[in-house]
Every structure is written in structure tokens, then in C-alpha cells.
Structure 1
Amino acid sequence: MSQLNLLLKQALQTFTCTREMFQQNLEKLMNLMNKTSIDDVRINPVLLSNVIWEKPNKAPATYVHIYEDLNITVGIFVLKPGLLLPLHDHPDMHGLIKVIHGKVKITSYSLNTDNTEIYKNENTEVFSESMTPFIVEKTSEVIVDPSNVCSILYPEHKNIHQVECINGPAAFMDILSPPYDTLNEHGEMRRCNYYKVLNELAPNIFQLQKTESPSTFWTDSAPFIGKLFA
């Protein structure tokens, strides 16, 4: 079985297993993702060249869809040189990111930490529900390339982040669970929300506000040319 198929099989196992087995399966998934390279997935090499990104009206990011069901979504984002993937969230989701080409900087923010509690008040506790500002802590800022292990986000830890492409094009594999556009525990559709930084209240403590997706950011798609479950 190919490395990609082993990864997909373990992702399905991880996000459908019992609570007692989740951490053990998550560690197995992380280990497999750390071993996954660009050689294990087939990407059109044109997407990794500078030529295509110089074309007029080319979207600043291309998404290669690999697999999705009710439990997981798996794909690859290819980013334009210098692109800043806007600050966004993953509501009540787990996510794993593995850079397979190029270099990116991932800046992550967390909700409900011991440090954010100090700054919270009745007007700053709403998350993703309105334009009301809320408080987060910047808990990670890392520069990663294919030699680094995968990054992981949890439902409340590192759940809001931005990704900046450094120098040439970059590509990363993305596993999310549950997928966007699935119902959360309140019966509401799980959407991706975008944010802007209003101000820094203290070192690494920021006030964010929900905003519209920036007009300068959009994605197009490219077909996945590999084989699944072969």
C-alpha cells in the first residue's frame, strides 16, 4: 500500500475511533504524515514553478482535492510566492499541516488560555458569532519546510492561524476533521471565518474581530492526478 493510502487509512481510523483510542491513533497519524513527502503525492509540476504564478488573473492559491467524507477532508494547497493566507479559523476542528514543498511561516492563536482569561470581559468573549471583538493568545510562530514535522491544531488550541509563503511557491498537505460545511454540535453549519487584528493588549495577547474574506485572496482548483486506495 502506498504512503498516501496508508495516511488516508490512518486518518479515517483516527477520526472515527473511540475517545479512548483517539490520542494513540492521532500519534500514529502524525508519524505517518511526518514521513509523507511530495514524492508520495502527484502534483502538476507547473504549479510548483514561478511561471504559472506570473499569469494575469491567476488565483493566489490553488487547491488540489484528494479525499472527503463526513469525517475528514484531505487536500493540498499550493501558494503563490509571497502569499499571506489570511487569518482564519477551524471551528471545533482538528487539523494537520505538512509542508511538502517550499517554506511557510505559520502563526497560530489560541482561545481560552490562562493568559487570555485575564483580559476577558463580558464584551469580548464571543467567538465566530458576531462582530464583537474577542481575545486570543499567539501561541506559535514557526517557519517550516519539508524537513520539519507536521503542525497540528486542536478545537481550542492553535485553532486560528495564518500561513505566509516565503520566497518561491510552497505547497502543504492539509487534513481537517470534521470538514467545513458539516453540522456542529449545535446543528449549525461549520464555516470558515476570517479575522483581523484590532490591537495587541499585551505581549502575545491580541484582540481580534471577525471580518470578510479579503478580496485579494481566492482559490482555484487543480485535479488530483494520483491514485487512492489502489
Structure 2
Amino acid sequence: MKKTTAFLLASLFIFFARAATGAGYPPLDLEGVQISVDDGPEFLMGLFERAYGGRVPFESVRMEPEVFGVFGEILAPRKLVPGVSSATFRVKTGSGRIQAVTVRLDWRAPMVAARREIARGEVISADALDLRVDSYKRTDGTVFADPKALIGKRATRRIPAGAPVSRRDVETVFLVGRRDPVTVLSKSGNVTASLEGVALQEGDEGDFIEVRIPRYRNDCLAVVVDKGVVELVGPR
């Protein structure tokens, strides 16, 4: 039992360490965990709090019925994915009998949502976002708990007002995009020449990308220094 509980708590710690940074919610290992008749959402939250020092990404977990109503060892589900709306627990009681209990679950979590409709291709600003506590559903995907993590990203699809913003809804806006026209700086001592080029790769500040200089029909390696500006490093 101690071994099983330690394994569960370790799994929960990994889960919350990732969830706190906006990563996805991996499944929780439940096989072998002991429950009692009066255990319910407080039991689940207690596991969460002990696993992560009292700090959990969910404000609460609601359960219907409010208690399991059975004492014994959980046989199934072996894993519980946060965000599922219901689960059927198969519990081995003290008499050896297998009893099934179906519960509905509501995972209440802080999530960043669209304050207004965000158009596809729009670069997201702070005034387009709200932070609220709402029901997290598995279909929401990887959501964010910090609006700052979304500011400056670009919407890959239309996000309706009130909808949670997930990782699949946004992409990073690079200073230089693939096929973008760029200014290529070539430095020699105190002299800097400026050429016109085309980026063959996307990149952010400090990234090394390949650029094409049509004037010389040559592909070169350059480092991104600003929006639409790269500095020549050398020939390909």
C-alpha cells in the first residue's frame, strides 16, 4: 500500500509540475489506491495538495455523487485523465466483491479565455484576454493559466469570445518568417553593407537561418537581429 501511494504521489507531482507551466495534463495513476465510503472530491484534492505542497492548478474538483459510497481498493480505471466528465470506478471491497461506482467530475481550473472574438491571424494582446475559473474539459486541450504566456502569439484559428485559449489555437510570431523579404547586414571592420534577401527559414532573435541573396544568387547563413533584419555569418 505504501509503495502504491508513493507511486501515485510521484505521478501527481509530475502532473502538477507540468500543469503549472501550462503544459498538458497527463493521466493520474489510481490502480491500487484505497478509498473509503465517505471519500469524495476532498479526497482527490487532498492527494493533489500533498503531492504539490498545497499548490494545485485546479481550484476544486466537483463530484456527483459527492462520495464514492464504497470502501476498498481501486482496480479501474488504472489512470484518470483530468478533464474527463465521468468515470466508472471498479472497487474491490474488503469481502472480495467487485463493486462499480460511476461518478461525474467537474474540474474547476483557472484558465485564460478570449474576452472578445480573436480573429485568425491576429497577434494577441492583453486586452483580448481574461483569466477566469471555469470547468476544464479534456477537449479543451493544453490551456494556459497565465495571460502573459499568450501575449504576442498569433491566433491560428478564430477563437470565439468566452472560449478558453489552448496551445493548438496559437503559434509563435517569429521576427523573420520563411519566404519573408529581409535586410541582410554584412559587416567588415567598421563598414556595414546592406543587401536585400529572402529568408529560407523562420527564426527569432539570435536564431541562425539560411537566407538567399538574389543579387548574388547565393544562399548564406545569417543570424536574426531584429524584425526583418539578419546579419550575415558566412556562405552556405
Fold agreement, TM-score > 0.5: no
Q: Which has the larger radius of gyration?
A: 2
TM (norm. structure 1) is: 0.28
Calculate the TM-score normalised by the size of structure 2: 0.28
